[in-house]
Copies of this chain bind each other. A is one copy, B any other.
């Protein structure tokens, strides 16, 4: 994706598409693809436009600001690769999937560090030559641990934090600091099976389908805006462990898919939900 991306969000009114695309036309830019959505309940307008052309970014931004309503949030996305920090605990599959994609240039981001509350995954990060920071939670309080994690994070410049099976609940205070910047993979088809041991819960309930959910983290457990979900069939003969094993393939693909959507600036947060252009 070497094109420029324009992102607009504002209160809905007549003529927004015409005005926004008019600015691009006047600036001799060519639209490659365009998506827009109006949330009628909230009366919000969202637009994402891929375009090509020679332009001076500040000038174009200011033209859009003049053409569009005052309350508009207008962003011409940087063409530089975004930077991510990955947080994990002991399970390797999601971390490995992201590092693998990073190394093979299938991830539109730079992985700047891996932070974990255990050191078990250090060899994996080492193998891919990614800095690994072990921030143990051993013998300290939750808030002390979060302070230590923040300190570790502060050593890096990053756009998103990816929780690749990071198995600790983050406090609302921590989450607030990185509003709409933390992605999590939850190993169930949310809102089914919130909380611990979703595969065990799924097994106990006897469901015939299990899934995984990638979402932004907000202050309520497993309640943030959903980005991507996927499912696979199971049956009575599958134990909780077998569901867990089968679920790993779903988890890593759902997380990678959601991350790609975010990295390509395809995701708007709209209240407790997402608007996704793809």
Asked whether A72 is an interface residue with its Cβ less than 8 Å from the other chain, the reply is no
Choice from B19, B92, B190, B205 contacting A207 with Cβ under 8 Å: B190
Segment 6-36 of A: residues with Cβ below 8 Å from B: 14-15, 17-19, 21-22, 24-25, 28-36
Number of A interface residues, CB 8 Å?
Answer: 59
Find chain B residues with CB under 8 A from A151 CB: none
CB 8 Å contact bits of A123-163 with B (1 = contact, 0 = none) = 00001000000000000000000000000000000000000
Asked whether A263 is an interface residue with its Cβ less than 8 Å from the other chain, the reply is no
A170 to B17, CA, bound (A): 45
Asked whether A113 is an interface residue with its Cβ less than 8 Å from the other chain, the reply is no
With A100-B100, A228-B208, A273-B236 in contact, do A17 and B33 touch (Cβ < 8 Å)? no
Find chain B residues with CB under 8 A from A25 CB: 14-15, 18-19
Asked whether A174 is an interface residue with its Cβ less than 8 Å from the other chain, the reply is no
Find chain B residues with CB under 8 A from A193 CB: 191
CB 8 Å contact bits of A60-93 with B (1 = contact, 0 = none) = 0000000000000000000000000000000011
With A17-B34, A276-B236 in contact, do A189 and B205 touch (Cβ < 8 Å)? no
Asked whether A171 is an interface residue with its Cβ less than 8 Å from the other chain, the reply is no
Interface of A is mostly: mixed
A227 to B15, CA, bound (A): 32
A206 to B19, CA, bound (A): 29
Choice from B17, B31, B192 contacting A31 with Cβ under 8 Å: B17
Find chain B residues with CB under 8 A from A29 CB: 14
With A206-B274, A229-B209 in contact, do A22 and B18 touch (Cβ < 8 Å)? yes
A162 to B33, CA, bound (A): 33
Asked whether A197 is an interface residue with its Cβ less than 8 Å from the other chain, the reply is no
A211 to B231, CA, bound (A): 11
- Find out whether the CB atom of B38 lies under 8 angstroms from the CB atom of A36: no
A235 to B228, CA, bound (A): 10
CB distance from A47 to the nearest CB of B (A): 9
- Find out whether the CB atom of B270 lies under 8 angstroms from the CB atom of A236: yes
- Find out whether the CB atom of B14 lies under 8 angstroms from the CB atom of A21: no
Interface residues of A (CB under 8 A from B): 14-15, 17-19, 21-22, 24-25, 28-39, 92-93, 96, 100, 104, 106, 127, 189-193, 204-209, 211, 225-231, 235-237, 245, 249, 253, 270, 272-276
Task: Show 7 residue pairs from A and B whose CB-CB distance is below 8 angstroms, ordered by the A residue.
Answer: A14-B28, A14-B30, A33-B36, A92-B104, A206-B225, A208-B228, A235-B276
